[in-house]
Amino acid sequence: MMKQYLEVKEQCRDAILFFRLGDFYEMFFDDALTASRELDLTLTGRAGGDKERVPMCGVPFHSADGYIERLVHKGYKVAICEQMEDPKLAKGIVKRKIIKVITPGTITLENAVASKNNNYIGCLCEKEDVMAIALMDVTTGECVWSVCAASVSEDTILDILSVYEPSEMIYSRKGDHINSVMAYLRNRISQCTVTAFDEQTDVDYEEKASEYFQQTDFAAARQAGMCIGILLTYVREVMQSDISHINSLEPIDNGRRLVMDASSLRHLEITQNVRNGGRKGTLLDVLDKTNTAMGGRLLRKWLEAPLVRISDIILRQDAVEDILSHEIMRQDMHDALDGIYDFERILTRIETGTASPKDMVALRESLASIPQLKTVLDGGAAELLKRLNSRVSTHPEVYDILCQGIKDDPGVVIRNGGVIRDGFSAELDEIRSISANSHAYLQNLEEREKEKTGIKLKIGYTKVFGYYFEISHANTKAIPDYYVRKQTLVNAERYITPELKEFEVKVLTAQDQMLVLEYKLFAQIRQQIQAYIPAMQETARSIARVDCLYSLACAAHDNRYIRPGLNKDTVISIKEGRHPIIERYLKDELFVPNDVTLDHNDHEVLVITGPNMAGKSTYMRQVAVLVLMAQAGSFIPAREASICPVDRIFTRIGASDDILTGQSTFMMEMREVSYILKHATSHSLLILDEIGRGTSTFDGMSIARAVIEYCLKHIHALTLFATHYHELIAMADDSQKIKNYTVAVKERGKNIKFLRRIVPGGADRSYGLHVARLAGLPDGLLKRADVILADLEAHGNAAVPAIRPAAAAAPVADSLFVSPVLDKLLHVDVTSLTPIEAISFLYSLQNEAKEGSGMK
Per-residue pLDDT of 585-599, as tens digits, reads 877 677 889 999 999
Residue 639 pLDDT level (bands cut at 50, 70, 90): very high
What gap in Å lies between CA 394 and CA 366, rounded to an integer? 10
Question: Would you say residue 797 has pLDDT above 50?
Answer: no
Question: Would you say residue 843 has pLDDT above 60?
Answer: yes
What gap in Å lies between CA 602 and CA 737, rounded to an integer? 4
Question: Would you say residue 650 has pLDDT above 90?
Answer: yes
What gap in Å lies between CA 79 and CA 640, rounded to an integer? 58
The string of DSSP letters for 691-728 reads TTTTS-HHHHHHHHHHHHHHIIIII--EEEEE-S-GGG
Q: Which amino acid is at 175?
A: G
What gap in Å lies between CA 435 and CA 430, rounded to an integer? 9
CA atoms within 13 A on the CB side of 159: 23
CB-CB neighbours of 817 under 10 Å: 17
How far, rounded to the nearest angstrom, does the alpha carbon of residue 634 sit from its chain's CA centroid? 19
- 630, 308 contact by CB (below 8 A): no
Q: Tell me, what's the pLDDT at 664?
A: 64
- CA nearest to 345, candidates 541, 512, 184: 541
**Burial class of 260 by CB neighbour count within 10 A (0 to 12, 13 to 18, 19+):** buried
Question: CA-based angle 287:291:292, to the nearest 5?
Answer: 110
Give me the phi and psi of 744, to 5 degrees please. -65, 135
- Kindly state the helix (H) or strand (E) to which residue 628 belongs, with its residue range: helix 616-632
Question: Would you say residue 714 has pLDDT above 80?
Answer: yes
Average model confidence (pLDDT) for the chain? 86
Residue 33 pLDDT level (bands cut at 50, 70, 90): very high
The string of DSSP letters for 263-323 reads HHHHHHTSSS-TTTS-STTSHHHHH---SSHHHHHHHHHHHHS-B--HHHHHHHHHHHHHH
pLDDT digits (tens, 9 = 90+) for 539-583: 999 999 999 999 999 999 999 999 999 999 999 999 999 999 998
- CA nearest to 396, candidates 376, 421, 371: 371
- For residue 172, the cross-strand partners are 125
What gap in Å lies between CA 476 and CA 221, rounded to an integer? 86
**Burial class of 274 by CB neighbour count within 10 A (0 to 12, 13 to 18, 19+):** middle
Question: Would you say residue 718 has pLDDT above 90?
Answer: yes
- CA nearest to 644, candidates 752, 566, 549, 554: 566
- For residue 646, the cross-strand partners are none
What gap in Å lies between CA 665 and CA 342, rounded to an integer? 43
Query: Which DSSP symbol is given to 421?
Result: P
Question: CA-based angle 188:191:194, to the nearest 5?
Answer: 90
What gap in Å lies between CA 498 and CA 506, rounded to an integer? 12
68-82, 139-153, 467-481, 836-850: range with highest mean pLDDT? 68-82
How far, rounded to the nearest angstrom, does the alpha carbon of residue 433 sit from its chain's CA centroid? 48
What gap in Å lies between CA 685 and CA 384, rounded to an integer? 28
Residue 802 pLDDT level (bands cut at 50, 70, 90): very low
Residue 503 pLDDT level (bands cut at 50, 70, 90): confident
Coil, strand or helix at 524: helix
Q: Which amino acid is at 250?
A: E
- 687, 651 contact by CB (below 8 A): yes
Q: Tell me, what's the pLDDT at 712?
A: 93
- 392, 377 contact by CB (below 8 A): yes
- 736, 604 contact by CB (below 8 A): no
Q: Tell me, what's the pLDDT at 782?
A: 76
What gap in Å lies between CA 24 and CA 36, rounded to an integer? 15
- 561, 636 contact by CB (below 8 A): yes
Coil, strand or helix at 743: strand
Question: Would you say residue 116 has pLDDT above 70?
Answer: yes
Which residues does the annotation place in the binding site? 610-617
- 798, 825 contact by CB (below 8 A): no
What gap in Å lies between CA 856 and CA 852, rounded to an integer? 8
What gap in Å lies between CA 459 and CA 456, rounded to an integer? 11
Q: Sheet with 565-566: list strands edge to edge.
A: 565-566, 640-643, 572-577, 594-598
Q: Tell me, what's the pLDDT at 808?
A: 38
Coil, strand or helix at 678: helix
The mean per-residue pLDDT over the stretch 212-228 comes to 90
Question: With pLDDT > 70 as the criterion, what percentage of the chain qualifies?
Answer: 91
The mean per-residue pLDDT over the stretch 139-150 comes to 90
Q: Tell me, what's the pLDDT at 799?
A: 42
Q: Tell me, what's the pLDDT at 767?
A: 67
CB-CB neighbours of 409 under 10 Å: 8
The mean per-residue pLDDT over the stretch 56-81 comes to 93
The mean per-residue pLDDT over the stretch 762-777 comes to 71
- 294, 348 contact by CB (below 8 A): no
Query: Which DSSP symbol is given to 127?
Result: E
- For residue 468, the cross-strand partners are 460
- 369, 539 contact by CB (below 8 A): no
Beta strands in 407-463 (DSSP E): 458-462
More confident residue, 410 or 775: 410
The mean per-residue pLDDT over the stretch 121-139 comes to 90
Pairing assessment for the beta strands 492-496 and 466-472 based on DSSP bridges: antiparallel
Coil, strand or helix at 243: coil
pLDDT digits (tens, 9 = 90+) for 664-674: 677 888 888 98
Coil, strand or helix at 124: strand
The mean per-residue pLDDT over the stretch 522-544 comes to 95
What gap in Å lies between CA 28 and CA 402, rounded to an integer? 42
- CA nearest to 145, candidates 221, 246, 83, 209: 221
Question: Would you say residue 153 has pLDDT above 70?
Answer: yes
- 730, 809 contact by CB (below 8 A): yes
Lowest mean pLDDT among 290-299, 335-344, 774-783: 774-783
- 723, 704 contact by CB (below 8 A): yes
- 72, 103 contact by CB (below 8 A): yes
Q: Tell me, what's the pLDDT at 152?
A: 79
Question: CA-based angle 221:227:230, to the nearest 5?
Answer: 130
What gap in Å lies between CA 612 and CA 550, rounded to an integer? 39
What gap in Å lies between CA 38 and CA 188, rounded to an integer? 23
The string of DSSP letters for 345-387 reads HHHHHHHTT---HHHHHHHHHHHHHHHHHHHHHHT--SHHHHH
CB-CB neighbours of 381 under 10 Å: 13
Which residues does the annotation place in the binding site for ATP? 610-617
What gap in Å lies between CA 837 and CA 630, rounded to an integer? 53
- CA nearest to 280, candidates 584, 548, 558: 584
Q: How far apart are the first and last CA of the chain?
A: 91
What gap in Å lies between CA 27 and CA 35, rounded to an integer? 8
Question: Would you say residue 784 has pLDDT above 50?
Answer: yes
pTM, to two decimals: 0.82
Q: Tell me, what's the pLDDT at 187?
A: 79
Question: Would you say residue 655 has pLDDT above 90?
Answer: no
Q: Tell me, what's the pLDDT at 238?
A: 92
Q: Sheet with 259-260: list strands edge to edge.
A: 259-260, 648-652, 685-689, 718-722, 605-609, 738-748, 751-760
Q: Tell me, what's the pLDDT at 840?
A: 81
Lowest mean pLDDT among 188-192, 204-208, 647-651: 188-192
Q: Tell me, what's the pLDDT at 605?
A: 96
How far, rounded to the nearest angstrom, does the alpha carbon of residue 47 sit from its chain's CA centroid? 47
The mean per-residue pLDDT over the stretch 778-801 comes to 70
Question: Would you say residue 775 has pLDDT above 80?
Answer: no
Question: With pLDDT > 90 as the criterion, what percentage of the chain qualifies?
Answer: 50
Q: Which long-range contacts (CB under 8 A, 24 or more apart) does 773-782 make?
A: 774/613
